[in-house]
Structure 1
Amino acid sequence: MGKKKVMSLFVVVLSMAMILGACGGSDSEGEANGSPSELSLLTGGTGGTYFPLGGELANIIQDETDIESANAQSSGASVENMQILQDGDADVAFTQTDIAAYATNGELMFEDGKVDNIQAIGTLYPETIQIVTLEESGIASVDELKGKKVSVGAPGSGTYANAEQVLAAHDITMDDIDAQHLAFDESTEGIQDGTIDAAFITSGTPTGAVEGLSAQKQVTILPIEQDKIDKLIEEHPYYAEDTVKSGTYGLESDVKTVAVLAMLVARSDLDEDYVYQVTKAIFDNSDKITHAKGEFITADSALEGVGIDLHPGAKKYFDEKGVE
């Protein structure tokens, strides 16, 4: 075979290889460029608010974007979600605003290593600090938790940090209670069975696990007094005053407490247009959310209390909406 024929054949083969590579490599290229065809959305435990709400958001994202599929995944919630995103094993996640701040600043449970690859999509709704007990327990105030068996969440979790801070505002330490480290479902089961006296649950109201308990027993939510609320907000600015409304869990009157905000964050290496699509899908279609927390999810309030940098894709959306 002559040199010219060999060279011509080489050019043809090379061209075909380039064409095939371009056609066949689109999925992997999308992954590399931060546009995964299957979006993974980390939520929380099945007894909380993140999981059912996350399922609805995943359906909206799948219906309203070019993303082939979006899957809501149960997880250990805020702290674990930040660690999973840091490892690159998911794309978007629910978290609390305080936990996102701890993660990006390398504070508290993230002292051994900050999370440097997350940016905000937007805040969603208040995550209420609910101190749950039964009316029959006779416990009527936070001060009366001393010496009691109280579930405070897993050490290093967002709920644990909230419990520690609320107790500290009342001059109570973890050593002053018999601290139990249970998930929400386990906490309400323990209260119903009488194996624990009370539980801290940081979640949007109504919380499924507490609703289940209230269907069996008369639930009490312990109030936080105004001076303690003021102290908490002064020392930890990511807290906001909140109220558990009468009628929730069968309560006969409003209960004053505090809340952090639930938010969505994304890996910072996701493409701008990809995150723009996700952000637009959620906030332009929040009226389709049937969960009770859907009423709080609006573009107008989504930048309140964010506390960390916005993802460029989310910023593009909110700039278009005129939200600062």
Structure 2
Amino acid sequence: MRRLLAIALLALLAACSRGPDQASLEADLRQRLEQAFATDSLSLATLQRRGSASDVNAPDGEKRVLIYFDAELRVERDQDFGSWDSPGVASLISALGAGPRGLSGIESGGNQRGDLLRAHGSLIYREQDGAWLAVVPQGFTAPRAPQPSNASSTRESLVLAIGTALNLSPGGTGSTERQIISDELERSLNNIQGRLSRLQHGYPMAGGPQSGQYASFARAMSAGLLEQGMKVQPLTTEGGLDNLRLLRSGEVLLALSQSDAAHFAVSGAGPFEDAGPDRDLRALASLYPEPVHVLVRADSTLRSIADLRGKRISIGLPGSASQHTALAILAAHGLQPGDFAELRRLDLQQALGALRERQLDGLIQVIGSPADNIRAASEAFALRLLPLDGDAISRLQQERPGSFAYQLPRGSYPGQTEPLATLAVSSLLLANQQLTGREVELLVGQLFSLKEQWLQHGSIQGTQLSADNALRGLGVPLHEGAEKALQKLKPPRP
């Protein structure tokens, strides 16, 4: 028995000793933090190595090891890690190789000097000439969708509400007055029935493809609101354009989509020209920025969008708002679909796989950063982002209301040492007039009360929700209920 214990102990010690020593691990982690943040923003307070494991995704013939650690970071100056325009949670998670659940201490509205952030992170190292070299942070897996609970009948509550409403009808009134009472009573009862049904059965929400970021955000939103007694049921869809059509047809009550696509829907332009304007479409809030990502291999000779001419690229799935924006990006740079050797319509995971296998030269995707799939792909091969041309960005802002110039903060992805000039749209939460003002007011209020829950439920993008950015890049009218909720969330003026 003692011999077996001794062997097990030696094996454990050998596993923990693989990879770099403590000093190298600390130096590499500090270097990554300095690449993403100003040198006086964060400091490494403590670092404890927690073990190692072989990297099963290592390229053939390459020896790699994952190093797991716990770290405490001290905030050295006031900073809002949920900001849209400066390095924040996205850059922090990429630098640390942490999943959203592995990071704590982020404060909604900003952290103050002296705050401590805690992270369970990981770095990947490869062995080269007897030395260990840091590669990229380890990725993470998005959480599974929560299972909806069984709904109960609303019959008794509805009968009680009808009885109460009928007792309000005064006697001795004329026909005109009675018609007004009848009309208003019918409208009110419809609202009561709808609200009671939605309270019990939940709000169906059009998310996106199962492996996409909209679906991931929708799952986190659903889990967070469920803890507050509100049921939102995320549905798998084809993407932002499909979501807008489902909302218009009444098949869902909530939807996620890009701000530029929502503007086309409300104005009856672009992909919605045949359907005409959706005059009932309303925004509940702008959630987080979705920058345009134009990705190539790091060893590629391509340096600009114009260099993509004659190459093989992917522009995203049919039915997605991302694909529609990608085509506009190309057009603004003087490129049309016929200018490419191959134009494929793949989802992000498929496109990254094809890029890795050199079956593609580039891809375009509109998605919040850091995108999980892009981070995970960076573990297998080095990627590089292409900037958009300044004149093209200006032209696109004029042509596509809801879009805006954006600097992707440095450190958003491994190896990105400088901010990147690109275009962004807002991810919008949308509804229509089926929801009452009071329902929307409650929903938006609860949505913006979710703070640390976003990371707990696996969403980096959720940490970027703030009342200050809730109206940014809307492109469509704001729901009256959302307007009331957001007014309450604004801090009082001094």
Same fold (TM over 0.5): yes
Whether contact under 8 Å (1:91, 1:266) holds in the other structure is yes
Deviates more, 1:24-33 or 1:286-295: 24-33
Q: Does 1:182 align with 2:346?
A: yes
Choose between structure 1 and 2: higher helix proportion: 1
Q: Among residues 68, 74, 97, which one is paired with 2:259 in the alignment?
A: 97
Q: Among residues 331, 340, 343, which one is paired with 1:168 in the alignment?
A: 331
Secondary structure of the 2:434 match is: coil
Q: Provide the identity percentage.
A: 23
Cα deviation for residue 33 of structure 1 reads: 5.1
Whether contact under 8 Å (2:296, 2:302) holds in the other structure is yes
**Residues in 2 aligned to 1:196 and 1:207: alpha-carbon distance in whole angstroms:** 19
1:46-92 CA distance string (max 9 Å, x none): 33321222111112222224x3x222222222100011111211111
Secondary structure of the 1:231 match is: helix
Whether contact under 8 Å (2:158, 2:193) holds in the other structure is no
Secondary structure of the 1:300 match is: helix
Q: Among residues 387, 394, 398, which one is paired with 1:230 in the alignment?
A: 394
Partner of 1:242: 406
Whether contact under 8 Å (1:154, 1:183) holds in the other structure is yes
Partner of 1:139: 302
Partner of 1:267: 432
Q: Among residues 363, 366, 370, which one is paired with 1:199 in the alignment?
A: 363
1:226-272 CA distance string (max 9 Å, x none): 23322322333422122333333312322221111111001321122
Equivalent pairs, count:
304
Q: Does 1:295 align with 2:295?
A: no
Partner of 1:257: 422
Relative contact order, higher structure (CA 8 A, sep 6+): 1
Provide closer, same or farther for how the CA distance between residues 160 and 21 of structure 1 changes in structure 2, counting only shifts above 3 A: closer
Cα deviation for residue 94 of structure 1 reads: 0.8
Q: Where does structure 1 lack aligned partners over 5 or more consecutive residues?
A: 1-17
Partner of 1:49: 213
Provide closer, same or farther for how the CA distance between residues 47 and 253 of structure 1 changes in structure 2, counting only shifts above 3 A: farther
Cα deviation for residue 292 of structure 1 reads: 2.0
Deviates more, 1:173-182 or 1:30-39: 30-39
- 2:240 aligned partner, one-letter code: S
Runs of 4+ in 1 over 4 A off after TM superposition: 18-21, 23-31
**Residues in 2 aligned to 1:134 and 1:25: alpha-carbon distance in whole angstroms:** 64
Whether contact under 8 Å (1:34, 1:269) holds in the other structure is no
Secondary structure of the 2:381 match is: coil
Partner of 2:244: 82
**Residues in 1 aligned to 2:307 and 2:480: alpha-carbon distance in whole angstroms:** 47
Cα deviation for residue 151 of structure 1 reads: 0.8
Q: Does 1:130 align with 2:298?
A: no
Cα deviation for residue 275 of structure 1 reads: 1.4
Partner of 1:10: none
Give the greater-gyration-radius structure (CA). Answer: 2
**Residues in 2 aligned to 1:235 and 1:269: alpha-carbon distance in whole angstroms:** 30
- 1:153 aligned partner, one-letter code: G
- Tell me the TM-score normalized by structure 1: 0.85
Secondary structure of the 1:248 match is: coil
**Residues in 2 aligned to 1:20 and 1:246: alpha-carbon distance in whole angstroms:** 54
Partner of 1:7: none
Cα deviation for residue 142 of structure 1 reads: 0.6
